[in-house]
Amino acid sequence: MPEYSWPPMDKRRVIGKRISRLDGIAKASGRAKYSSDTNLPNMLYGVLLTCPHAHATVKSIDTSAAEKSPGVKAVRVIAPAGTEIQWAGWEVAAVAAETEQQARDAVRKIKVEYEVLPHVVREEKLEEVGTRAKPSGERETGDPDAAFKEADAVSEGHYGIPVLAHCCLEPHGQVIAWDGKKLQYWPSTQNVSGIAADLGRALEFPAAQITVEMDHIGGGFGSKFNADRWGVECAHLSRAAGGRPVKLYLDRATEVTIAGVRPSAFAKIKIAGKKDGTITAWESESWASGGIAGGGLPPIPYVFAAPRTGIPNQRLKHMAVSLNTAPQRAWRAPNNQQACFLTCAAIEDLADKLNMDPLDVYLKNVDKTARPETYASQLKKAAELAEWKKLWRPRKEAKGTLRRGLGIGINTWGGAGHQSTCLTKIHPDGTVEVELGSQDLGSGTRTVIAQVAAETLGLPVDAIKVKIGRNSYPNSGASGGSTTVGGVSSSTRKAAVNALEKLFAVVAPALGVPAEQLEAADGRIQVKGNPAKAMPWKAACQKLGVNSISADGENIPKVAPKEGLNSQGASGVQIADVTVDVETGVVKMNRLIAVQDCGLIINPKLAESQIYGACIMSICGALMEERIMDPTTGRVLNADMEFYKLAGIKDIGEIIVHLDISPEHDQKGVIGLGEPPAVGGIAAIANAVANAIGVRVPMVPLTPNRVLSALQRRMA
Amino acid sequence: MQAFEYASPKTLKEAVALLGTRWGEADVLAGGTDLISLMKDYLHTPKRVVNVKGIKELAGISKTGAGLRIGAIVTVDELLNNSAVRAEYPSLIQAARGIASPQIRNMGTIGGDLCQRPRCWYFRTGNGLLAMKDGKSLVVSGDNRYHAIFSSGPAYFVSASSFGPPLIALGAKVKLTSATGSREVEVAKFFVTPQNESSREIALLPNEILTEILVPSAQGVKNATYEVRHKDALDWPLVTASVALKMKGNTVESAKVVLGHVAPTPYVAAAVERALAGKTINESAAEAAGEAAVENAKPLSENGYKVQLVKVAVKRALLEAVKA
Ligand SMILES: Cc1cc2nc3c(=O)[nH]c(=O)nc-3n(C[C@H](O)[C@H](O)[C@H](O)COP(=O)(O)OP(=O)(O)OC[C@H]3O[C@@H](n4cnc5c(N)ncnc54)[C@H](O)[C@@H]3O)c2cc1C
């Protein structure tokens, strides 16, 4: 068995270095081509007609006027008469025309008669959803009643975190050319290797005849794994138009309305503790919605619920609320933000009841987590960076117009590497190609692959040609669950080691030693322990004659734990520092501190950049983002980027990232980092605001409206 | 967007000749930051679009004997960088700074700002200006967090223009020109509350172009605008207050206090104006003025918080105005 394990920390030349992302300049200068930049000769434009009603039956649909509209080449009925529509934005028909404008004009000529049915689109008030709420699980451990009775303090609260949209800057969509024999597919996807199968299944067309190409994607966050109805219809339009390519991208309103949301979570929570801060009991009645199928129970109580050692007495009851809104999709650490917010908010409210510094309460209870020492040290590190002991004041001391506050959120995540196969080719001219059917979501996957290959082959990063984004390359998993970096780094490492072994075998005779005694370093193949006996990389490759080397490597999740290249289990702590203007209710971010462990870090700069992004998303979620439904029409009121509010640079404040890089964490191998840092920020910010103003704002985002209402309730 | 005929006249005379007598026949295009969105959403479907950015008569900022003349196609950014405006009209500068983003400030014009359509999400999603459905207001029964707190209906949207309140406080007029002549209208009367679906929220007629804004001199007039915004980047104010105080030494001789984003038009807080006369502005007088400003507020189900925001905005605008 070849030796695949990572080189020791002090021997690494490329891994662990702060290399700027390889496609950074191309992206910043606009040269990078996103899938939505695909423009082909002879291309048509597809546009969807969507349903304006939240719940309705299609009575009839007449496309004749659209068919005669100028430029129209194909019209498709998606929801024929009789279809029961369950949310506004449901795809009803589609048109392909010579120009986008012609297609838009044409869909407006499609006449649809609906029978409008009653709808429910808001779930914040459980008492108003009637039979749409269905029991969805109960659980009891220990003796919660006795524990609440014996507690030194009990805190009861109401908490809510709403539905929000993925709001990808590049909307969902694709270009497809399908002539019936082969299908060319340019999607915006997190799933380059797998999406052809999904599309093929819907079209009853062999996936092997579908070629997928994607170089850059403008955001997915968990919403871009499948071909989706618009992908399938785009293919049919192309076929109907004689195989001409069709470009169909959702407009912003449709993107926000149907292309993915994070489910909500609301809860009445009762939590109890002892004078020393020990949490003894938890009781929650929660409800959630992610659309027509309801919404699941987030993993509450979060983190402090390790098997056997977690909060001992618990009673949970959950209701799933079915709404006439488009369905949820995975959203950067599914259900963890919700769980973290509900749990950490309740814990800090309990700390206030106990007259304790919440930091001490968290520290007191780390034994209830799966990683007590890690959390303890991270809490201390984050507190040190935040100057917690100097700046933190109890809620009751809040005063003045501008009030500063601090709060904490805690995260956990898996992040094991997914299935990934890499093919590494070494050519006689010395060039190296590394091929994977993977994708770079902006997280730096390309760069990481290049670093691993360069490290292994003893070459500089720019000697590696990374080829991803084609399903003709070896299969690599979808990018979800923070599984990509572990998967591609391990498969790349193995493929490069395997390729190198083949090269050693060719070169060994010339250097007069057995292949096992060779190593690749500093652009040379050399004898271990005797760098003087060496051959430059190019000269070594010339020995291949006319035959390139190609070798593959695979990360197989089942056996990966034994190999140790990647593993799972990350944890982190976020601390927010805010200032609240109590006359206007406006919250300003001062700082967001993120301490994060994630195993072996291939590129600290990219890792930090992931965390910056996660923090910014948390700020949006804590202060601004929510999907707003109109009760009467059942439509999304803010399906735009004007009232669907996202932070701009001035709203972000300072972000301080501390990566827990240490031999202890490094030896765990690579662990995914995309999601965990996006978990704790909302809780931290909400807690900081409660600390600043002396009262809990029950529901995020913390708009001026909600902050002022909470302050007024306290005064009343 | 519906197909349309496009004209780009070089003179005001040619331009007004291209306008129609009814809305829908022709739309004036300035920076296009609002009109193009309206057209893309099929909310405006003009048969003809008349670009006025090439008309020199509508450009430039100049001092006149009586004050300042601001051409309608002056961009928000141009206004921000004009030394005469900076010297005398902090309330306009403070209002301009809050407008959206550098891109919109570079393209959007002051004429367009005054003539822009409301941002009410019911209007913008195709439910009409008054957003009535089956005889009931969607706003009243729906999500009205950004809507009017001074309105008894039927309109509940808020006037979008950030320049409206300070221009009214400063006593400005707009000049409106049609093929048959020109008229001057006080900005205070330019904004109107529509009573039915076919009327507009401004006094402009379909055959008119707003050509210039005439702002009286603000010598000896302390003025300021205070905006409360949820976020700093690319956002609308939740509430604004513009004040113009004619001073006699340390006391207010006469005051103008105009609120933005609280009613279908900029809202003149007349009670406050009366109460301020003869007063010295300090923390407690400013606070009392804020209280007086909300006397007639009638918040809807979800915008009660704006009442508090008005109090603060008025107080802070007054204190800002008298700041040394
Ligand atoms: C995200 C966002 C945030 C914004 N925030 C703010 C804000 O905080 N405060 C604020 O005030 N504005 C804000 N705006 C609006 C912006 O200021 C206006 O869109 C801009 O001022 C309009 O000017 P324009 O020249 O682009 O007008 P256009 O889009 O060209 O025209 C707008 C309307 O006015 C009419 N019109 C334009 N000029 C004339 C004229 N001379 N005579 C007659 N009719 C005319 C047009 O026919 C059209 O109906 C925001 C806009 C966006 C998109």
Q: For A382-419, how does the pLDDT look when each residue is reduced to its tens digit (9 = 90+)?
A: 999 999 999 999 999 989 999 999 999 999 999 999 99
Q: Is the confidence at residue B2, as pLDDT, over 80?
A: yes
Tell me whether the omega of the peptide bond preceding residue A162 falls within 30 degrees of 0, making it cis: no
Does residue A374 have a pLDDT over 80?
Answer: yes
Q: Report pLDDT for A598.
A: 83
Cα–Cα dist B321/A274, whole Å: 54
Task: Compute the distance between CA of residue A358 and CA of residue A379 in angstroms, rounded to an integer.
Answer: 11
Q: How many CA atoms lie within 13 A of A682 on its CB side?
A: 32
At residue B233 the predicted structure's pLDDT band, cuts being 50, 70 and 90, is: confident
Q: Is B154 in the pocket of ligand 1 (CB under 6 A)?
A: no
- The pLDDT of residue A660: 85
Mark A565-578 as b/e (b = at least 16 C-beta within 10 Å): bbbbbbbbbbbbbb
Interchain contact B36–A (C-beta under 8 A): no
Sort out which chain B residues have CB atoms less than 8 A from A637's CB and list them.
121-122, 125, 142-143
Sequence spans of domains, chain B? 1-324
Per the CB < 8 A criterion, the answer to whether A479 and A220 are in contact is: yes
Q: What is the pLDDT of residue B324?
A: 65
Per-residue confidence at A338, pLDDT binned at 50, 70, 90? very high
Q: What is the rounded average pLDDT of the residues A644-658?
A: 96
Q: Could you say which of A638, A647, A648 has the minimum Cβ distance to residue B121?
A: A638
pLDDT at A183: 98
State the average pLDDT over residues A572-577: 98
In short, whether B104's Cβ falls inside 6 Å of ligand 1 is yes
The share of chain A scoring above pLDDT 70, in percent, equals 100
pLDDT at res. B100: 86
Provide the token pair at A567. 């593993």
B46 lines ligand 1 (CB under 6 A): no
Type of residue found at B60: G
Q: How far is CA A81 from CA A60, A92, A96, A113, in A?
A: 5, 10, 21, 9
Please compute the mean of the pLDDT values over residues B67-74 and round it to a whole number: 98
Q: State the Cα–Cα distance between residues A141 and A143, nearest whole angstrom.
A: 7
Which residues from A are below 8 Å from B when comparing CB atoms? 101, 104-105, 108, 583-586, 623-624, 628-633, 635, 637-640, 642-643, 645, 647-651, 703-705, 708-709, 712
Distance from CA of A638 to the nearest CA of B (A): 7
Nearest CA to ligand 1 atom 5: B100
pLDDT at B189: 98
Q: How far is B110 from B208, CA to CA, in rounded Å?
A: 16
Residue B240's closest chain A neighbor by CA? A584
Taking the centre of ligand 1 as the mean of its atom positions, its distance from the CA of residue B315, in whole angstroms, is 28
Looking at the complex, does the CB of residue B317 fall below 8 Å from at least one CB of chain A?
A: no
The mean pLDDT value for A527-540 works out to 95
> Which B positions 109-168 lie with beta carbon below 8 A of chain A?
119, 121-122, 124-125, 127, 133, 138, 141-143, 145-146
Order the strands of the A56-62 sheet from edge to edge: A84-85, A56-62, A111-116
Q: What is the distance between the alpha carbons of residues A448 and A605, in angstroms, rounded to a whole number?
A: 11
Statement: residue A549 has pLDDT above 80: yes
d(CA A224, CA A315): 36
- What is the per-residue pLDDT for A179? 96
Determine what percent of chain B falls in helix, strand and coil, rounding each to the nearest 5. 30, 25, 45
- Cβ neighbours of A586 in B, within 8 Å: 228-230
Domains and CATH numbers, chain A: 35-118+172-249 (3.90.1170.50), 261-415+568-715 (3.30.365.10), 418-563 (3.30.365.10)
Question: Parallel, antiparallel, or unpaired: how do β-strands A279-288 and A313-321 relate?
Answer: parallel
Residues with Cβ < 8 Å from B136, sequence gap 6 or more? none
Nearest residue in B to A584, CA atom? B309
Virtual torsion, Cα B58, B62, B63, B65, nearest 10 deg: -40
User: In Å, what is the CA distance from A411 to each residue of A691, A700, B142, B262?
Assistant: 20, 18, 37, 41
pLDDT tops 70 at residue A566: yes
HEC assignment per residue over B54-70: CCHHHCCEEEECCEEEE
Q: What is the structure's pLDDT at A398?
A: 86
| Tokens, residue A230 | 């618009």
pLDDT exceeds 90 at position A224:
yes
Cβ atoms of B212 and B148 within 8 Å: the answer is no
Q: How many A-B residue pairs are in contact by the CB < 8 A criterion?
A: 84
Residue B20 Cβ < 6 Å to ligand 1? no
Q: How confident is the model at residue A714 (pLDDT cuts 50, 70, 90)?
A: confident
- ipTM of this complex prediction, to 2 decimal places: 0.97
Q: How far is CA B242 from CA A221, A590, B108, B310, B314, in A?
A: 42, 29, 21, 11, 8
pLDDT at residue A716 greater than cutoff 80: no
Residues of chain A with pLDDT > 90: what percent? Answer: 97
Provide mean pLDDT across the span A158-186.
Answer: 97
B177-225: pLDDT as tens digits? 999 999 999 999 999 999 999 999 999 999 999 999 999 999 999 999 9
10 Å CB burial of residue B200 (0-12, 13-18, 19+) is middle
Tell me, yes or no, if B233 comes closer than 8 A to chain A by beta carbon.
yes
Return the residue whose CA atom lies nearest to atom 4 of ligand 1: B100
Whether the CB of B2 is below 8 Å from some CB of chain A: the reply is yes
Mean per-residue pLDDT, A309-320: 98
| CATH classification code of B1-324 | 3.30.465.10
Closest CA to A566 of A493, A460, A513, A502: A493
pLDDT, position A505:
97
Which band of pLDDT confidence, cut at 50, 70 and 90, is reported for residue A679?
A: very high
Enter the pTM of the model.
0.97
Structure token pair of residue B258: 């105009």
Assess whether pLDDT exceeds 70 at residue A499. Answer: yes
Q: Is there a contact between A413 and A482 (Cβ–Cβ < 8 Å)?
A: yes
Contact B138 A632 (CB under 8 A): yes
Residue A696 tokens read as 């809990």
Report whether pLDDT(A521) > 80.
yes
Structure tokens at B249: 């030494």
pLDDT at A1: 73
Contacts of A264 (CB under 8 A, 6+ apart): A123, A124, A160, A161, A162, A163, A288, A289, A290, A295, A338
